[in-house]
Structures are given as structure tokens and as C-alpha cells.
Amino acid sequence: MTQAKNRLRSAVAGLAVTAAVAAAVGFTGAGTALAATATIDLSYRCPFPLIGTQDVAVEIVAEQLPDSAVAGEETPAVQVTATATVPASATAGLSLVGARTIGGTATATTAVDNAGTPQSVVADLVVPSTPVPSSGAFDVVATGGTPAVTFAVAGPTTIDVGNFSTTLTPRRADGSLTGLGTFTSNCTLRPGQDTRLYEFTVQPAAEN
């Protein structure tokens, strides 16, 4: 990433996070060969108080993804990081109500196709208290993970990133709430994007 991109990506998935969105999922564990890290950049439409719906860029990183897994064996959670770039228009709205920090939580939905058997996996993410600049875009980073997952069917398996929802609380310099209180933004993927995060193969269970 360029230095400019690194500055822009750093802390709420979509005034919000992605929270990344977020957003994104990895699986590891017993009977699982670990190896890969997958990264994907996506654009979402997120509704915000005062300023309406805005485009939000989110980068999702899933680490320790499996080279393979075994059918019927549970795979523990993996950490997920979602970095959302809050647009300048949202910063202006936060400044208008006196917000100096923002933080909260996010949930990201991921679609898994396990050899033709679909299942939905949700990542729970935390958005730490993040300083709000006086103007311009800024970044928010959400981190968290997924629950344990069991793949029932042997065969090729794919992971696609879906929509995310973030609940945020802006606060004034003294820690008090702003006039926005706590709000929830349900962010949806902009159409026409490649949402494929990762592909791997689930191996058949060993015969006794």
C-alpha cells in the first residue's frame, strides 16, 4: 500500500467500520493446515445521521486461513481486521455535533459455500475509541473474529464477503454523548464487485 493509503486506513468501518465488515472470515484449527492471509478491498453504501447515505471504502484482512480443512472437524475462530475510511462529509457531520471521538461495535456477514452447501458466518468486531479530526477523511479499524465453524462436506469451498452493520457512539471531548446519541448504520455492498475472499478444499473425514 502506498503511504497515502496507509494514512487513510486506520480506525470505524463506515463512520463506520467494518467494522468490517467487514466482514470477513478465516478458519483454522485441529485437522486444518494453516498458511494463508487474504485481503480484499470493497466499497459499501452506508446511511449516516445528518448527511445521509455515503460511500465507504473498507479493507478486510483475514489471517491464518487454511490450506485445507477436514469434513466434520470443528475449526476455531480466526481474527479479522476491517479498516474503513470515513469520508470527509461524515467528518463534517461529526464535527458539527461536537464529536471528538467515535467507537462501538460491528458485525460482518460472510457467505461460505462448502461444496454446494451454503452457510452464513458472522464476525463480531470491536471499534475502539478513535479520534475524530476537525476535517477530512479518517480511518477506523475494527478487530474481532468468527465463531467456530464445522464444514460438513468434502470438496472445494469458497468464502465471500457480505454486508455489515455497525453501531457507533460519538462523544465530546469530556466523554459525554453528542446529539446523535448511539446510532446503527447498516452498510450494503455496492453492486458489481468481486467479493471472493478465499478458496480452499475440505478433505474427507478419515475412515475408522
pLDDT at 74: 81
Worst-scoring range by mean pLDDT, 52-56, 77-81, 154-158?
A: 77-81
Cα-based distances in Å from 21 to 137, 138, 186: 18, 17, 10
Q: Report which DSSP code applies to 22.
A: B
Could you tell me whether strands 52-70 and 196-203 are parallel, antiparallel, or unpaired per DSSP bridges?
Answer: parallel
The 10s digit of each residue's pLDDT in 164-193 is: 999 999 999 999 999 999 999 999 999 999
Return the amino acid letter for 192: G
Q: Does residue 11 register a pLDDT over 70?
A: no
Q: Extract the C-alpha cell encoding 50.
A: 445528518
Residues composing the chain: 208
Distance, CA of 9 to CA of 148 (rounded, Å): 28
Q: Domains of the chain, with CATH numbers?
A: 3-200 (2.60.40)
Q: What percent of the chain has pLDDT over 70?
A: 82
HSE at residue 1, side-chain half, CA atoms within 13 A, is 12
Could you tell me whether strands 149-150 and 196-203 are parallel, antiparallel, or unpaired per DSSP bridges?
Answer: unpaired
- Which carries the bigger pLDDT value, residue 120 or residue 76? 120
Cα-based distances in Å from 99 to 3, 50, 80, 105: 27, 13, 27, 17
pLDDT at 147: 81
State pTM to two decimals.
0.80
Categorize the per-residue pLDDT at 35 as very low, low, confident or very high, splitting at 50, 70 and 90.
Answer: low
> Mean pLDDT for the chain?
84
